[in-house]
Amino acid sequence: MKNRKDDHIKYALEHESEYNSFDDVELIHSSIPKYNLDEIDLSTHFASHDFEFPFFINAITGGSENAKKINQKLAKVANECNLLFVTGSYSAALKNSDDDSFNIVKKENPDLQLATNIGIDKNYTAGIAAIKALNPLFLQVHVNLMQELIMPEGSRNFNEWENNLREFVQNIEIPIILKEVGFGMIEDTIKQGIGLGIKTFDISGRGGTSFAFIENMRRENSLDYLNNWGQTTVSCLLNLKDYTDKVEIIASGGVRNPLDMIKCLVLGAKAVGLSRTILELAVKYDVENIIKIVENWKTECKMIMCALNAKNIKELQNTKYVLYGKTLEFSMQKF
């Protein structure tokens, strides 16, 4: 039998989004700088923890031999580069007691800043089991409705989701992040989440990985007209401008490089998650080369901040920007 996790990796790498909302954002630069490059501070804070860098390896995988190799490789990179590493959904390990594709990451890198992930369709006890196994800094609870609907073997019952989330909040002692998987979250979802006690949201928007595309590739009758379902990462961030002081917003979805990362931070994100971009590095390069690329990203983030006259993540939020195209049209509509 083919492994679903391997399918996800394969089709995620095959998909190239034709539109990325970060291209609709132009940052206004400064010609006379205030800061030297080495004065610039990339550190951030969310989910009750300090992080030295504002970008991290977001949930990707676990639950197969190939997934284990990718986790081992990326966890090593994260450990060497002092980045946060988030595993894919831990439910694969709960289904198979022989699975060590998640636990090995902890075993091989005891000091790694590690977090894990579980689906909102699961009972909170699954979250407790994941926490017991990995001792993570926080737990991401993912929402992936359109993925489930398109997935041939996906869930068909959803009215437990809200209550599951309520119970996660009530019973889990570490911070919980409510996370999308590339379809985006806007104000209505954030308000619902706040009502259920969520303080941190990863709005993971459209523009990179499309789980509609991935599941369509796994179906006999493709519903490919749904491949661009959801809201883009930049549209979500713009929609949530009034919430960046009320809750913690994490950005992910379609982040390709340090310029995209900085755009997320300018738009109020506390940190930026990368999945597809880092997965691509994991399959193309060895650990040493990925470390070099990630180390360069840190310097490149500082270069861009220097050219925007921002000493830290907070100051980045004063950056002026101009919007174009579909993103501008989205931002002008009230709904």
What is d(CA 127, CA 90) in angstroms, rounded to the nearest whole number? 8
- Least Å distance between CB 113 and ligand FNR? 17
Q: Do residues 29 and 298 make contact, with C-beta atoms less than 8 angstroms apart?
A: no
- Least Å distance between CB 117 and ligand FNR? 5
- Indicate the residue among 232 and 306 with the shorter CB distance to ligand FNR: 232
| Residue whose Cβ sits closest to ligand FNR | 208
Q: Is 60 annotated as a binding residue?
A: yes
Let me know if 80 is exposed, middle or buried by CB neighbors in 10 A (0-12, 13-18, 19+).
middle
- Least Å distance between CB 227 and ligand FNR? 14
- Least Å distance between CB 197 and ligand FNR? 19
322: which strand partners? 26
What is d(CA 254, CA 262) in angstroms, rounded to the nearest whole number? 13
| Residue 181 phi, psi dihedral angles, 5° rounding | -125, 25
Alpha helices per DSSP H over 218-286: 233-239, 258-266, 276-284
- Indicate the residue among 172 and 279 with the shorter CB distance to ligand FNR: 279
Q: Is 319 annotated as a binding residue?
A: no
- Indicate the residue among 233 and 319 with the shorter CB distance to ligand FNR: 233
How many other CB atoms are there within 10 angstroms of residue 257's CB atom? 14
- Least Å distance between CB 147 and ligand FNR? 9
Q: Is 160 annotated as a binding residue?
A: no
Q: Is 276 annotated as a binding residue?
A: yes
Helix (H, G, I), strand (E, B) or coil at 143: coil
Q: Kind of pairing, strands 321-323 and 25-27?
A: antiparallel
What is d(CA 288, CA 76) in angstroms, rounded to the nearest whole number? 10
272: which strand partners? 55, 251
- Indicate the residue among 10 and 311 with the shorter CB distance to ligand FNR: 10
Q: Is 10 annotated as a binding residue?
A: no
- Indicate the residue among 201 and 310 with the shorter CB distance to ligand FNR: 201
- Least Å distance between CB 318 and ligand FNR? 26
Cα angle: 144, vertex 171, 96; to 5 degrees: 60
Instruction: Give the dihedral of Cα atoms 275, 277, 280, 284; nearest 10 deg.
Output: -130
Q: Is 117 annotated as a binding residue?
A: yes
What is d(CA 107, CA 101) in angstroms, rounded to the nearest whole number? 11
Q: Is 333 annotated as a binding residue?
A: no
- Least Å distance between CB 254 and ligand FNR? 5
Q: Is 209 annotated as a binding residue?
A: yes
Residues that bind ligand FNR (CB under 6 A): 8-9, 12, 58-61, 88-89, 117, 140, 142, 179, 181-182, 204, 208-209, 252-255, 274-277, 279
Q: Is 275 annotated as a binding residue?
A: yes
- Indicate the residue among 239 and 275 with the shorter CB distance to ligand FNR: 275
What is d(CA 298, CA 322) in angstroms, rounded to the nearest whole number? 25
What is d(CA 199, CA 247) in angstroms, rounded to the nearest whole number? 5
- Indicate the residue among 40 and 177 with the shorter CB distance to ligand FNR: 177
Annotation: binding site? 4-5, 59-61, 89, 117, 147-148, 179, 204, 209, 254-256, 275-276
Enumerate the known binding-site residues for Mg(2+).
Answer: 148
Q: Which residue positions form the known binding site for FMN?
A: 59-61, 89, 117, 179, 204, 209, 254-256, 275-276
Binding site, annotated residues for substrate: 4-5, 147
